[in-house]
Structure 1
């Protein structure tokens, strides 16, 4: 990857972004959110590789690994999230991209406080009305076009609902609005295949590679609702057990789960990867 990618950094305030930046105008870019603890990045290899793969998919260059490796050490002490935003830059005519592109990379450090009560007590979720469109070219990468997630999250304002479950336009389970999804059934943890839409989370990837998660190619909603236990997770928040699921109208509760040892076991694996403390209580 090129070392001469244009870079604009910010620490506390918003950067000045050109109105011609294609990331602003078209969502033509990528982003990563990385958990940092005293300047040490968790799942850093996975984040850098996803950013590189996403840039390759979109057809422009990411910063070099050496340049990226210098970012976490710039963080203040304590827990932070490093947000990296990479755009194609400015130029081109209309939707036609410039050749060659001159990418821009912005970053910021955001103080982070986890929500341990959700680790311990679990969460309530709801089913979303919105269906994710299938687009294999964009599937898996963390691109800037997140309007589907925004519209899905707009469906509820009840703070007791932690997340919304998203299906695709063929009613197959995909993910939550900002987290990956897994369910436990017949002695195995399953997570939906993301070959047509959805974000391949870095924690999801690490758990699959270590043999803790299996990928389900066929994932109708019934697989979740009939499972023994279920959870949501990402590389910042860790793992939240699901205890209840409401329908899209908030009237019915098609799914309820207990927080069993299978959940706690997967949570320990996830939190070890992230450096989060173990959960000592199930009350």
Structure 2
């Protein structure tokens, strides 16, 4: 990976997602209920995922850090809107929510290990994992710009619908600064680092392909036969079957190329998923 610049032109622009993973996983004071804090809705209201869900139905309550949490409503995907009896910083004392497919609990090292070296703006519950390969030294050698997409719970959700197009993504917040928009508009080739960056660029670009400073939400689901119009290259990890991330990559490179690349990765014993290896598609 340290030779990445050998595969790029001098005027290529890397675009990276500078979201920062929050320590968003907390347990109730009795240790029986797990809360994953997704989004702050107000001073004392949060959207959360809860396990086991049967213990937190509408009207049920639990204690977290001494505060009383009460379920107001349950969303279509099982997320809870929870009100607390006082304002609290629940990320203090929280733990990093590792993807479930890693099959282990997070430890103290994950606080920094599951964070890109350029992570800046808190808001994600998962890292933009293609960015984990970068060191400050590699990044300093390459022209780059940052966008922000706060990776949400939807990144872990496999496609379960019979028709791919029936799958619905969770909304995620994104933002693009004026300086980033200017740099991206001026670039000859845009190399997106990770699928989250692709989703920002494809969501935010105007019909003429240009970007402006903006912030908003996106639930864009990119899959074949959709075309990716605003990205010229992609650096991405190796993803789970039936994941929306794998389908986005398939839309970019084509199914046949993707199957060939993954067969090679398996044959050469590349590592998959969040802490795994990556591929560069140009």
TM-score scaled by structure 2? 0.27
TM-score scaled by structure 1? 0.27
